[in-house]
Every structure is written in C-alpha cells, then in structure tokens.
Amino acid sequence: MIQARWEHVDLVNREWLIPAENAKNKKNHTVFLSDFALKQFKELRAISHWRAPRKTPSIPHTIR
C-alpha cells in the first residue's frame, strides 16, 4: 500500500489497481474494495491529497 497512488484508486467503481511495476508477479492486479476499505480510502481522500498523510507535517512527503 505504500506505493499506492490516487490515480490507481477508483472510488466510483470500488477498484484499486496495483500496476505491474509495483506487483510481485509483475502483472497488473485489480483489488475490489470492500465497504470498509472504500470508507477508509474516502476518509483519507477527504483529509489529504496523499494516500497516506504523514504524522509529522514538517517533514516533506517522499511519495507522490
């Protein structure tokens, strides 16, 4: 999940694409989001444009 990007998360269709370059088997993988996972992604999206906001805001993000 560390390499997740918002461009890979489709909240409308409840899908999260793990692109081949981030997958262990080097193939695209689609994860269908449960109600719980969808809620978590929506809450993160509402508070930050980052997939995982930092606990220490003074330190810059290293992920896009």
Residue 35 is predicted with a pLDDT of 98
Question: Is residue 33 classed as helix, strand or coil in its secondary structure?
Answer: coil
Domain region containing 19 = 1-64
Listed in sequence order, the residues at least 6 apart from 27 whose beta carbon sits closer than 8 Å to its beta carbon are 20
Give me the number of domains the chain comprises. Answer: 1
pLDDT tens, per residue, the chain with 64 residues: 677 888 999 999 999 999 999 889 999 999 999 999 999 989 888 887 655 555 555 555 544 4
Residue 11 is predicted with a pLDDT of 94
**pTM summary value:** 0.66
Residue 52 is predicted with a pLDDT of 54
Residue 56 is predicted with a pLDDT of 57
Question: 15: which strand partners?
Answer: 10, 32
